[in-house]
Structure 1
Amino acid sequence: MSRRSLSSSPPRDIKRPRLIPLTPDDYRNGVMLAPMVRSGALPTRLFALKHGAKLVWGPEMVDKAMVLAERVVDPISGTISYNGKQERAMFTCHPIEKPYLIFQVGSADPDLAVQAARVVMDDVSGIELNCGCPKPFSTHAGMGAALLTNPDLLCSILTALRRELPPHISVSAKIRLLPKQEDTLSLVERIVNTGINCLTIHCRTRNMRPRERALIHRLKEVVDFVKGFGGDVAVIENGDCVGFEDARRIRSITGADSVMIATAAEANPTVFSPTPLTNLEETFILPYLRLCKYLDNHWASTKFCVSQFKARKSANKALREAVIKAKGYTDLDALVGTWTGDEEFTAIKASIEARATAPPILLPLSEDTLQPQSQSQGSATSSGGDEISTTITPSGWRGNPDPTVVNDAPFLPANEHRIHIPAGVSKQDPGTPTPHRLSGGGPPPLPLCRYLRFFL
């Protein structure tokens, strides 16, 4: 679908937000939408902001692609598109999200990173260098997680971004944990000294599989290490957070300034609220489709995002099946009814503009009710004497898979008897059994025959 205008200037009825620079405090005390390729589309980001996300990250864009992009503004909706070949939008954004939008760039060259940032900096508030993506499309050119083994290049890119960009453009980085904690601390020290405002840490190593639980217990030491510098750099945790209340749990364990949500937001963009929408077939998908149509979001992007929304087993599947079969928005006329979409956009705009006097729901500034604990403790005790685990699997946790995969791996095995047989022995790759607390003091060992069947 081609964009609706080749105008190079924004429409007159869209007010440009004031140039209010992001500070480290803007990265604190919130729940954030993580950068996600394909899933971090403009409509998803706008709904995330409406439902409480403090800041939103766009999907990673490669520097070379953005340097050659053409900026186009839609005169109807105000949507800004950065088009590549065949006039197809590679990245879209909107002026109403600018004060809260971080653009993530994939780069292995300081000069190209700066050029790409300059192309888009008038439409975003911050630039982030992706140093954590382990996928081949990112690492093959030395970008993403490949930068973790080339700290000189990583830091030179961040230094160049901070030096060459205007002061009102924030600079941040996202990394993964290194296998050794001392190496992680050494890398973090070098990154913090480049002058960034924020550091997001995905609590997995480069080689960890998405279904493996995040190593959030390792982040506490990193957070304390950063605070020990005496500088002003926010630290955001990423990995296995499923919603607002879960963010409070993770924050109490790690001491992180904020928490970032990826997979759970891909399944439900309203999880940033303490009361997220449920039964998305009835409450969310139709408004989402209308907004996508209003913003002229490419149909393939809309179709993919809707396919990732979590469905209830009892839900009416007619709408989803219609979306799967549809080749464009017009194929859904009978189900959607009116396509105006302006009501959805107006409600989102009002919600975002209200932040000037009524900020979004933030994580508590004071100490959370859940207290951080050491590894040796493992649980806290409530006033009633019952143990409360701070590392149990949140209900409904789906793991952190690739966009097209859904796994039911839990947060932590209950005990050594429930750890799954290695795939090399079993010839299978089953998920770890979900732990349950039993009144008898824990689950009994599984029968020996359950293990022997893998060897016969």
Structure 2
Amino acid sequence: MMAASRLSFSNITALAPMVRVGTLPMRLLALDYGADVVYSEELIDIKMAQCHRLENKVLETVDFVAPDDRVMFRTCEREKGRVVFQMGTADPERALTVARLVEKDVAAIDVNMGCPKEYSTKGGMGAALLSDPDKIEAVRTSARKQESDKVKARSRSSESLEDTVSLVQRIEKTGVAAVAVHGRYKEERPRHPIHCDYIQAVAQAVSIPVIANGGSLDLVKTHGDIEDFRTATAAMWNVSVFSSRGPFPVEHVMEEYLKCAIRYDNHAFNTKYCLCQMLRDKVESPLGKQVQAAQTNAEISDAYGLQEFYQQTQEELQARRDRVRDYPPHITPKMFLLEWSRREKLEQPLYETVQRSQDRAFQSVVTSAGKKYRSSLWEKSKKFAEQAAAIVCLRVLGIPEGRIGEEDSGLVCKRKREVRVSGTADEEKKPILMACRGGA
């Protein structure tokens, strides 16, 4: 949410939360086409609570990175005032922990109690919460302790209209900013029709905004259909439905999505999944088979004839890395990590580096005090990859890195800090690039 404003849920069009689809590239594309609000995919509280928040200066994103180095949630300034973080939770304390972790980087926090699938209902989350109204109230009240105007709800209809309305009214009393109502029962699936009358009844029974969630694949084909759906009561595989000039051909939308995925270093398997879903019945076409066989974003770009765009983007990202020179040439993060390890009487840091074949870039993992750390970025040399891993380790541990302007920590002697020794190793002659931890 913007610091001086509150996100409004009245009269909006929103990209609904969709597992493996609601990642950063799709959210940004939906905003470009005219969506007012976009949702992340559902992210489980227990995984998010273990994440570190890290600013990625190369991609210009904020990454929430798990202990296994996977980027669980990636966002950026472009969507900050309009992205809703959807959380899967059944634990009030964890809900509060996650809310505190992400609240500065999102516009709102949505607690999911509408998803009927096992990955969500396991542990009492998602639609499983519908059978425990007391827990619903406890979870929402806990999350609301952080910032009440950022918390909203997403529910699924009960077979009883009276029970549905009663539950939403109880949710309203916890102080949420809005509620999204899925017009299907917990046991129903996309093949079943949407109960628009249930959504309409809820909207008339509460004073907070009500968002119609679900059914857009059947009921919303063009931008004009959105208002009809809103009146009766939306985008799945062609987000240009948000455009008043759309929808555009899905081939055009796929290319725009792929460009966004390349720009923000989206995980190749997620990129491939979303493109295959857009292809739908054409997934067995020559293009579909080429996409399915691809293992990297570079190979996916080849399938769409975007090799030049991919290469140009990689060069721009590398140039951005080269511009971020926060370290003096004769002081390195590896040096600081080594000196810290000696001071703490730990074993010397151990570096393991791999090189990927498609572009011969390097990535290193450093083991320090029995734990492993790595950067999400691939570097042009083994030496830079090791320095990137050292930076991640230092930042996670809260140890000074030796950046220009940083207060003297005493880890490196004054002579090394002030005098560039002749004949130093090649890695000490070059400025060190910024890196950030992640799971690319």
TM-score computed with the length of structure 1 as normaliser: 0.64
Q: Structure 2 counterpart of 1:266, which letter?
A: M
Alpha-carbon distance, 1:278 to partner? 3.1
Q: Does 1:19 align with 2:6?
A: no
Q: Structure 2 counterpart of 1:174, which letter?
A: R
Q: Following the alignment from structure 1 to structure 2, what is the Cα–Cα distance between the partners of residues 116 and 18?
A: 19
| Contact 1:45 1:56 (8 Å CA) reproduced | yes
Partner of 1:130: 112
Q: Following the alignment from structure 1 to structure 2, what is the Cα–Cα distance between the partners of residues 181 and 252?
A: 19
| Contact 2:45 2:88 (8 Å CA) reproduced | yes
Q: Does 1:41 align with 2:9?
A: no
SS at match of 1:20: coil
| Contact 1:280 1:311 (8 Å CA) reproduced | no
Partner of 1:206: 186
Q: Following the alignment from structure 2 to structure 1, what is the Cα–Cα distance between the partners of residues 291 and 306?
A: 11
Partner of 2:229: 250
C-alpha distance after superposition, 1:364-391 (max 9, x if no partner) = xxxxxxxxxxxxxxxxxxxxxxxxxxxx
C-alpha distance after superposition, 1:85-131 (max 9, x if no partner) = 43111111112101001101111111110001111111101111101
Q: Does 1:326 align with 2:310?
A: no
Alpha-carbon distance, 1:341 to partner? 4.8
- Describe how 1:211-250 pairs up with structure 2 within 5 A: 211-227=191-207, 233-241=208-216, 242=220, 243-250=222-229
SS at match of 1:27: coil
| Contact 2:2 2:80 (8 Å CA) reproduced | no
Q: Does 1:276 align with 2:246?
A: yes
Partner of 2:390: none
| Contact 2:182 2:212 (8 Å CA) reproduced | yes
RMSD across aligned C-alpha pairs, in angstroms? 2.4
C-alpha distance after superposition, 1:40-62 (max 9, x if no partner) = 11000000001111100111111
Q: Does 1:89 align with 2:71?
A: yes
Alpha-carbon distance, 1:39 to partner? 0.7
| Contact 2:223 2:242 (8 Å CA) reproduced | yes
Partner of 2:175: 195
Alpha-carbon distance, 1:332 to partner? 4.2
- Provide closer, same or farther for how the CA distance between residues 211 and 236 of structure 1 changes in structure 2, counting only shifts above 3 A: same
Q: Following the alignment from structure 1 to structure 2, what is the Cα–Cα distance between the partners of residues 38 and 332?
A: 17
Q: Following the alignment from structure 2 to structure 1, what is the Cα–Cα distance between the partners of residues 257 and 137?
A: 39
- Provide closer, same or farther for how the CA distance between residues 328 and 181 of structure 1 changes in structure 2, counting only shifts above 3 A: same
- Describe how 1:362-401 pairs up with structure 2 within 5 A: none
- Provide closer, same or farther for how the CA distance between residues 287 and 251 of structure 1 changes in structure 2, counting only shifts above 3 A: closer
Q: Following the alignment from structure 2 to structure 1, what is the Cα–Cα distance between the partners of residues 47 and 55?
A: 18
- Give the counterpart of 1:109 among 91, 96, 120: 91
| Contact 2:258 2:301 (8 Å CA) reproduced | no
Q: Following the alignment from structure 1 to structure 2, what is the Cα–Cα distance between the partners of residues 312 and 157?
A: 41
Q: Which moved more, 1:106-115 or 1:327-336?
A: 327-336
| Contact 1:293 1:329 (8 Å CA) reproduced | yes
SS at match of 1:68: coil
Alpha-carbon distance, 1:266 to partner? 2.9
| Contact 2:271 2:297 (8 Å CA) reproduced | no
C-alpha distance after superposition, 1:378-415 (max 9, x if no partner) = xxxxxxxxxxxxxxxxxxxxxxxxxxxxxxxxxxxxxx
- Give the counterpart of 2:13 among 31, 49, 55: 31
More helix by share: 2
SS at match of 2:255: helix
SS at match of 1:123: coil
SS at match of 2:169: helix
Q: Structure 2 counterpart of 1:236, which letter?
A: I
| Contact 1:291 1:341 (8 Å CA) reproduced | no
- Give the counterpart of 2:264 among 295, 299, 307: 295
Partner of 1:354: none
Q: Following the alignment from structure 1 to structure 2, what is the Cα–Cα distance between the partners of residues 240 and 273?
A: 19
Q: Structure 2 counterpart of 1:48, which letter?
A: A
Alpha-carbon distance, 1:156 to partner? 1.2
C-alpha distance after superposition, 1:230-258 (max 9, x if no partner) = xxx1111112122422221122223xxxx
- Give the counterpart of 1:139 among 121, 127, 138: 121
Q: Following the alignment from structure 2 to structure 1, what is the Cα–Cα distance between the partners of residues 286 and 306?
A: 12
- Runs of 4+ that moved beyond 6 A: none
Note the residue ranges of structure 1 that are not aligned, 5 or more in a row: 1-16, 228-232, 255-260, 346-456
Q: Following the alignment from structure 1 to structure 2, what is the Cα–Cα distance between the partners of residues 85 and 269?
A: 33
| Contact 2:28 2:79 (8 Å CA) reproduced | yes
SS at match of 2:298: helix
Alpha-carbon distance, 1:279 to partner? 2.8
Alpha-carbon distance, 1:294 to partner? 1.5
- Provide closer, same or farther for how the CA distance between residues 27 and 159 of structure 1 changes in structure 2, counting only shifts above 3 A: same
Q: Structure 2 counterpart of 1:235, which letter?
A: V
State the identity %. 34
Partner of 2:277: 308
- Provide closer, same or farther for how the CA distance between residues 215 and 277 of structure 1 changes in structure 2, counting only shifts above 3 A: closer
Partner of 1:336: 306
Q: Following the alignment from structure 2 to structure 1, what is the Cα–Cα distance between the partners of residues 227 and 256?
A: 29
| Contact 1:21 1:170 (8 Å CA) reproduced | no
Q: Does 1:67 align with 2:49?
A: yes
- Provide closer, same or farther for how the CA distance between residues 311 and 108 of structure 1 changes in structure 2, counting only shifts above 3 A: closer
C-alpha distance after superposition, 1:255-290 (max 9, x if no partner) = xxxxxx2xxx33112111123243322x23233222
Answer with 1 or 2: which has the greater Rg. Answer: 2
SS at match of 2:153: strand
| Contact 2:29 2:260 (8 Å CA) reproduced | no
Note the residue ranges of structure 2 that are not aligned, 5 or more in a row: 318-440
Alpha-carbon distance, 1:316 to partner? 11
